[in-house]
A = this chain, B = another copy of it.
Amino acid sequence: MKRRTITRATLGRLPLYLKYLRSSADEDEMVSATAIAKALKLGEVQVRKDLNDVSGKGRPRIGYLKKELIKDLEHSLGYRSHSSAVIVGAGKLGTALLQFDGFSLYGLEIAAAFDCDKTKTGKNLFGKTVYPLDELRLYCQMHDIHIGIITVPEASAQSVCNAMTDAGITAIWNFAPVELVTAENVIVQQEDLALSLAHLNMLINNK
């Protein structure tokens, strides 16, 4: 089963394919990219490319065996290698993310939250415990966690980033509006909410 880097746009369509295939009756049937494209009202070329990115088992003019394609889609979406993340910063945004149930669609879950505010630690938020920040390293090592989400204010973001790196985290999703300095092996994905709104504003101003 191959697993290569696929684009964010392709990744976003995989749950659609999976949902469609799961809803169809017989998993021992064959299914073509053409049929999927038609059913989902997507471009055929796009669907063909997407499926080829996640599964090498398509046969020309015949298509894919449904149950194999389902397995490959699940694999690409990380269902077999279930991943957990931790969140640092149990404020409004952190809590909103803890509460959000859309992550499971991609085989992801937020396992726990951390905060240095003692009025927050020890609490249980939507079934997730808030731990003191100094337990981050131990927790990540015990649970083999490599993804961290930063939802602390700008001023604390870099020190949280350092603590995450110390804890063995190699992928950081950063909501604080600050550019983090990290070791080379750490991937930072910056979430810029202000920029998203600004872009939308620009689109309507230019209509």
Of B4, B8, B96, B196, which is within 8 A of A93 by CB? B96
Whether, in the assembled complex, A118 has its beta carbon less than 8 Å from a beta carbon of chain B, the answer is no
Distance, CA A185 to CA B203, complexed state (A): 12
**A1-17 contacts to B (CB < 8 Å):** 3-6, 8, 11-12
Task: Convert A155-178 into 0s and 1s, putting 1 for each residue whose CB lies closer than 8 angstroms to a CB of B.
Answer: 000000000000000110100010
24 contacts between A and B (CB under 8 A): A6-B202, A8-B195, A77-B198, A78-B202, A81-B205, A85-B197, A92-B93, A93-B96, A96-B96, A100-B194, A102-B194, A103-B194, A103-B198, A105-B198, A106-B195, A106-B197, A108-B198, A147-B197, A170-B204, A171-B201, A173-B197, A185-B207, A189-B203, A191-B196
A103-B197, A147-B201, A189-B199 provided; 16 other pairs, C-beta below 8 A? A4-B206, A11-B199, A11-B202, A91-B96, A92-B96, A93-B93, A93-B96, A93-B100, A96-B96, A100-B193, A106-B195, A106-B198, A108-B194, A147-B204, A170-B207, A171-B203
